Amino acid sequence: MTSSAPTLTTLATGPLASVRAWLGLYATQMRVAIASQIQYRVSNYFYMIGMVTEPVIYLVVWSTVARQQGGSVGGFTPGEFAAYYIVWTLVRNMNIALTPWAWEERVRGGDLAGMLLRPVHPIHLDLAGLAGWKAVVIVLWLPIAAFLSLLFQPTFSIEPLGVVVFFIAIWGAYVLRSMFLWLLGLVTFWTTRVGPVFDIFFTAELLLSGRLVPMSLMPDWARRIADFLPFQWTFSFPIEALIGKLPPDQLLGGLAMQGLWIAISASIVAVTWRLAVRRFAAVGG
Amino acid sequence: MPDPAIRVTALEKTFRVPVREAGLANAVRSLFRREHRDVRAVDGVTFQIAPGEVVGFLGPNGAGKTTTLKMLSGLLYPTGGEATVLGHVPARREAAFLRRITMVMGNRNQLQWDLPALDSFELIRAIYRLEPVDFRRTRDEFIELLDLGTLVDKPVRNLSLGERMKMEFVGALLHRPQVLFLDEPTLGLDVTMQKRIRTFVAEYNRRYGATVLLTSHYMADVEALCRRVVVIHHGRILFDGALTALSANFDTTKTIGVTLSDGSTDLSGYGEVLSVEDGRVILRVARADAPNVTTRLLRDLPVADLTIEDPPIEDVIERVFADARDERAASEAAGPR
Amino acid sequence: MDQQGARFDDRPDPFRAVRLFVLFFRIGALNELQYRANFAVQLFQSALALATGLAVLGLVFGQTTSLGGWTQAELLAVMGVHILVGGIIRTAIQPNMERLMTDVRQGTLDFVLTKPADAQVIVSVREFRIWQAVDIVVGAIVLAIAIGQLEGGIGLGAALVFGATLLLGASMVYCFWLILTTAAFWIVRMDELHELFDGLYQSGRWPVTIYPGWLRISLTFLVPIAFAVTVPAEALTSRLTIETLALATAFAAVLFVVTRWFWRFGLRNYSGASA
């Protein structure tokens, strides 16, 4: 056995190697998350049924209204509502990010210390981990989506560009929402009474994102407020991209807006994370 | 002498603790004007540790051991003084620094609970960007050293506490860190498991020349691994030197536990009786007298069971503290400071 | 010979369950009164939820004057019942069931089983979260306002029937929760149960009659949300038929018997979580 000076066993450096290392990290963490989630199929199905109930309620209410109003309301027919809310279920699975409540346990339970000892920013492990979880739930989601389509007869007017934009936009929605929920979670570093803060955020999101109703059903003033907020890029935009409600310029403009918001939120996360760590390291875990 | 692996100079950590008084009125008032009290957890600690050295860090709960370890690993920022580890300032938490250290805390689990440890090891490989061939060699070497061959395929949740801790060690050392901070790594483990982990740490230190700073409540850990100990109390260093010096200076007794088959318990003729419980007598005797007393007990009495133990580490340290208090009192009495 | 231990009161006590409930309620209330700040938080959360609910109603009635034959005032009444029953569930039912689940997982249910009282009664009355009762009050207020807007108000008879159906509904929800929680004897990890129920319960915000048949039947007999929210609301809006009332009574009785049987069956199989 050697007793010489210890050698570091890291991979070669350089831009290409670095990219490969990052991809490797994401792939490994996703694999680990998938292997772990597959063991909890029953739990995941429970989650799925609870999750699907929400859009089904909205769908039933609004298609009832549309039928009473002579076939459409806010530009949506019952079939289009069905398309909207069925795509909603996929977008919802995609934009689920780490709940801000998890931070309380991370700080108190000591997981945070372990994260800080790792030589990578913990947001990467969160992003990759939940991406792996999505791979599992989307497999579970497929039969539910088929079932809902059979029952509610959605009408799509799918365009190739819309489909392409959709597949980019659901990942954009995921990253964007992850950034905001991370930021929200970091509030835990400064105060323990986080509940009201989270509640305000989630209520605003519910009303101003297209999660509750398509934005075209909201009053004008609410839509004007929503234009200055990130929420609609995480729900309404990807949904409407796929069901064919958006012209090409809005499709591409939407992606640009997502990118802009991701850049903004990621910078805020970077700064806030530093402040949060500084605070944690000052007061102790 | 080579550059020290760890250099700590007048290190300080003061926590601001909000003072809270009972009652609704006080609770409301504290919303507007918080009153704080400063608590000095580490109060001017200075020491150096050479590369490859294994040092035991001793002291009672709340002495400042964990706070110091956390400052050295970058989890806490010092409020005063300086610390460098392998030439890095820990508080900067540079990736290059984090790749060269590790911290193991007893009863903490870093591995994926629902998966076999092998999967977690892969993740660690990706996080530390370890070269695959080298990684596999290190991993298999550790697995063999700790005799974990049949367990790496089982979900971590199905392992016993000791097995889990061994896996934890493998995971914590896969990147072959040069500095190990071990905070109560054997907490709650049974004696064989403790021994196993000690042997492993010793072997790792021997093979890779790593520097180890260890805290433990188990004297056996410290005795097996550390030639040098640093004793800390109320955030200050009371003793820094060879373990043998500590024992010789402060730990001058042994405790003998005896159970007699005839049920009698009067053994005051053999040593100082510390306690009698369910027919079991605990005696304290001078270290040098222990063999002699044991021989007499076995010869004279119907002994059903007999154990000889070192006093617990708390007792030894207690004595260090007692002496330190006396010294300080003496120096304070000697004149104004 | 000396009497060993305390003397027992062996007289039959038909109100034992009620007495136990009152006892545990007092302890729980005293405990929570220490955390007054939680009251403010709960008040805030209830207000936010109420505002959201009203916003949704506003959106719907911005587009239409009735939904599935229900007017705005009637739907406000449904919302009031929904909030009120939700408050009852979160105050008294859910906390007990979550504690039971924890007990099963950690093997601490044995402490309950060794007590000389009916285990089902004990596990059902141990926890009480008084601050959640804010929702009961909010629900009642919304309900009162809705009734004020209803044409002709309501008579004493309707009020009595409403009370009765509310009780029946709450007992059915309790049975539903206990059956699911008892399943935790076999399936130890049921973390998502709470979220599943919350998700399904949201459907009660609207009268179940607007849902398509398969969903309406599920929300009536699989998850008794129709009985807990829609039926009491029907009692208030002169929609309740004798047949529905009889069905609710019969189903509540059957469900109660089945729950009791299932609970005992579960207990027989319970061997304590050895892990």
Q: Identify which of A51, A60, A200 has the shortest CB distance to residue C199.
A: A51
d(CA C260, CA C266): 10
Across the range C109-130, mean pLDDT stands at 84
A chain contacts of residue B66, beta-carbon cutoff 8 Å? none
- Let me know: does B165 contact B148? Beta carbons within 8 Å: no
Output the pLDDT for position B208: 95
pLDDT, chain A, mean = 90
**Neighbouring residues of A62: CB distance < 8 A, sequence distance ≥ 6:** A73, A76, A81, A213, A217
Q: How confident is the model at residue A4 (pLDDT cuts 50, 70, 90)?
A: very low
Q: Cβ contacts (< 8 Å) between A284 and chain B: which residues?
A: 15, 67, 70, 76
Stretch A207-215: mean pLDDT: 95
Q: Which of residues 34-63 of C touch A (CB under 8 A)?
A: 37, 41, 44-45, 48, 51-52, 55-56, 59-60, 62-63
How confident is the model at residue A205, as a pLDDT? 96
Distance to chain C for A189, nearest Cα, Å: 19
Cβ separation A32–B122 shorter than 8 A: yes
pLDDT in the model for residue A55: 95
Q: Can you tell me the distance from the alpha carbon of A116 to that of B262, in angstroms, rounded to the nearest whole number?
A: 60
Name the percent of chain B lying above pLDDT 90.
49
Nearest CA in chain C to A58: C203
Does C20 score more than 80 pLDDT? Answer: no
| Chain B contact set for A8 (CB, 8 A) | 99-100, 175-176
Q: Distance between CA A118 and CA A101 in Å, rounded?
A: 22
Residue A167 distance to chain C (closest CA, Å): 27
Confidence band for A1, pLDDT divided at 50, 70 and 90: very low
Q: Hey, is the C-beta of A38 within 8 angstroms of any chain B C-beta? A: no
A24 contact B CB<8A: yes
Lowest pLDDT segment from A209-213, A267-271, C191-195: C191-195
Asked whether the predicted pLDDT for residue C35 surpasses 60, the reply is: yes
Measuring CA to CA, how many Å separate A158 from each of A55, A215, B313, C30, C274? 21, 20, 74, 60, 55
Give me the interface pTM, i.e. the ipTM.
0.85
Q: How, if at all, do strands B179-183 and B101-105 pair? A: parallel
C218 vs chain A: nearest CA distance in angstroms? 12
Tell the burial category of B316 from Cβ atoms under 10 Å away from its Cβ (0-12, 13-18, 19+): buried
Residue A245 or A3, more confident:
A245
Verify whether the Cβ–Cβ distance C189 to A43 is below 8 Å: yes
Contact C212 A69 (CB under 8 A): no
Question: Which residue intervals of B47-113 are DSSP H helices?
Answer: 65-72, 95-98
* C203 close to A (CB below 8 A): yes
Residue C112, Cβ density class (10 Å: 0-12 exposed, 13-18 middle, ≥19 buried): middle
pLDDT of residue A10: 60
Please report the pLDDT score of residue C2 as a whole number: 46
pLDDT at A187: 93
User: Which other chains touch chain C, taking contact as 3+ CB pairs less than 8 Å apart?
Assistant: A
Strands C70-71 and C66-67, bridge-based pairing: antiparallel
Q: Which residues of A touch B178 (CB under 8 A)?
A: 6
Contact criterion met (CB < 8 Å) for C212 and A195: no
For A10, which of B15, B75, B131 is closest by C-beta distance? B131
pLDDT of residue A142: 94
Distance between A9 CA and the closest CA of chain C, angstroms: 39
Long-range interactions of B295-298: CB distance < 8 A, separation 24+: B296/B270, B297/B256, B297/B258, B297/B267, B297/B270
Is the pLDDT confidence value at A156 over 90?
no
**Residues of chain A with C-beta less than 8 angstroms from the C-beta of C206:** 57, 60-61
Q: pLDDT tens digits for C141-156? A: 999 999 999 877 778 8
Interface contact B126-A31, CB threshold 8 A: no
Residues of A in contact with C199 (CB under 8 A): 49-54
- Specify the pLDDT at position C8: 60
**Average pLDDT of the residues in B133-148:** 94
Percent residues over pLDDT 90 in chain C: 51
The closest CB to that of B75, out of A25, A35, A113, belongs to A113
Minimum distance, in Å, between the CA of residue B242 and any CA atom of chain A: 24
Which residue from A minimizes the CA distance to C67? A65
pLDDT digits 0-9 by tens, C220-251: 999 999 999 999 999 998 899 999 999 999 99
Asked if pLDDT for residue C1 goes beyond 70, the answer is no
Cβ-contact A208, A232 below 8 angstroms:
yes
Distance from CA of A168 to the nearest CA of B (A): 26
Residue of C35, C60, C177, C190 to mutate when probing chain A, most A C-beta within 10 A: C60
Strands B6-19 and B80-85: antiparallel
- Of the pLDDT bands very low, low, confident and very high (cuts 50, 70, 90), residue A169 is very high
In angstroms, the separation between the Cα of residue A150 and the nearest Cα of chain C is 13
- Chain B contact partners (≥3 CB pairs within 8 A): A
Contact state of A10 with B123 under an 8 Å Cβ cutoff: no
* Closest alpha carbon within chain A to B118: A32
Q: Do A113 and B105 touch (CB under 8 A)?
A: yes
**Per-residue model confidence (pLDDT) at position B327:** 59
CB under 8 Å to B328, separation ≥6 — which residues?
none
* Cβ contacts of A196 on chain C, cutoff 8 Å: 41, 44-45
Q: Measured between beta carbons, which residues in chain C are less than 8 angstroms from residue A52?
A: 199
pLDDT of B80-119, one tens digit each? 999 999 999 999 999 999 999 999 988 777 888 889 999 9
C192 vs A69: CB contact, 8 Å cut-off? no
Residue A217 · residue C59 · CB < 8 Å: yes
pLDDT at res. B28: 61
Q: What share of chain B is helix, strand, coil (3-state, %, to 5)?
A: 40, 30, 30
Q: How far is it, in rounded angstroms, from Cα B8 to Cα B45?
A: 7
The nearest alpha carbon in chain B to A1 belongs to B207
How does the average pLDDT of chain C come out, rounded? 86
Taking only residues 212 to 251 of chain A, the set having a beta carbon closer than 8 angstroms to any beta carbon of chain C reads 212-213, 217-219
Q: Do A50 and C41 touch (CB under 8 A)?
A: no
pLDDT of residue A2: 38
Q: Are C64 and A69 in contact (CB under 8 A)?
A: yes
pLDDT value of position B330: 56
Does residue B282 register a pLDDT over 50? yes
**CA B79 distance to own-chain centroid:** 24
Scanning every residue of chain A, which has its alpha carbon at the shortest distance from the alpha carbon of B91? A281
Give the single-character DSSP code of C222. Answer: I
CA distance A53 to chain B (A): 29
- Residue C77 CA to residue C61 CA, distance in Å, equals 15
Res. B13: pLDDT tops 60: yes
The mean per-residue pLDDT over the stretch A139-146 comes to 93
At A22-69, the pLDDT tens digits run 999 999 999 999 998 888 877 788 888 888 999 999 999 999 999 999
Mean pLDDT within B28-42: 74
Beta bridge partners, C194, equal none
pLDDT higher at A248 or B34: A248
pLDDT greater than 50 at residue B319: yes
If pLDDT is split at 50, 70 and 90, which confidence band does B228 have?
very high
From CA C109, how far away is CA C184, in angstroms rounded? 12
B261 pLDDT higher than 70 = yes
Nearest to A9 among B73, B93, B134 (CB): B134
Three-state secondary structure call for residue A56: helix
Specify the range with the lowest mean pLDDT, choosing from A153-167, B191-205, B315-329: B315-329
pLDDT score at A84: 97
